[in-house]
Homo-oligomer: A and B are copies of this chain.
Amino acid sequence: MKFGIIGASGRLGSEVVKLFNEKDHQKVFAYDLNGEWKNDKPEILIDCSLPMVFDKTIGYACDFNIPFVIATTGLTDNNLELIKSYSNKFPIVQSYNYSVGIQVLLKLTETASAKLPDWDVEITETHHRFKKDKPSGTAKMIKKIFIGKEINTSSHRLGNVPGDHAVSFGGLGEVLTISHRALSRRTFAEGILLSAEFVIKKRSGFYSFTDVVFTK
């Protein structure tokens, strides 16, 4: 694929460029703090920037009018509405978490919660000491699965742990646990590549990363 990338030099953006290069995809367009760089028309556009440049980002997306993968976090409801409206023109994948493993964990948690309705549930998340918000966004996503159930969530802050999550189900006589551990940011770059391969075949529509992982 010939790809364009917004936020090319950021922490996630540079990881994306590195992975796409390894897989022989060609970077033909980039925009970041150093300005704009263009070599050819891209077939797909990736956004790893920040919400503060959203107007610029959406402008590029409309100009190119090609499949679009958005990994920027902290978007407003208005931003999301705008994205959805543009998905009639070109296909879009949008998610706040591009880890395949977390998507699978969410799916497994749904199954387990349906099959073990009377079991106790505990959610635990562990992150680096620099993370201020508790619990993590992913822990909140897990919690949301248990509609109408009071769930305890424990947050641990330890050294520079990239991100662990666990859901434990306890019955009388047994405990079932689903746990996930992120090793590095590369995993998110892989999720973005998967989304690019998915969305490049679509004509239009708004997709989540869950769709990417589970619709195949």
Contact = CB atoms under 8 A, between A and B. Distances in A.
Interface residues of A, number: 52
A181 B103 CA distance: 24
Interface string A120-148: 10101010010000000000000000000
10 closest A-B pairs by beta carbon, nearest first, are: A173-B187, A158-B170, A159-B170, A154-B154, A101-B174, A173-B186, A122-B156, A101-B176, A108-B108, A174-B187
Given A120-B157, A175-B181, 7 more contacts: A101-B175, A111-B111, A120-B159, A159-B170, A160-B184, A173-B187, A177-B181
11 contacts: A100-B116, A101-B176, A120-B159, A159-B173, A159-B183, A160-B186, A172-B187, A173-B186, A175-B181, A176-B180, A177-B181
A172 to B, nearest CB: 5
Contacts of A170: 129, 157-161
A154 to B, nearest CB: 4
A121 to B, nearest CB: 8
A178 interface: yes
A175 B183 contact: yes
Given A171-B101, A172-B159, A172-B190, A115 B178 contact: no
A180 to B, nearest CB: 5
Nearest to A107: B111
A175 B168 CA distance: 16
Q: How many copies does the complex hold?
A: 4
A112 interface: yes
Nearest to A183: B173
A209 interface: no
Given A116-B104, A169-B101, A175 B152 contact: no
A38 B152 CA distance: 48
Contacts of A208: none
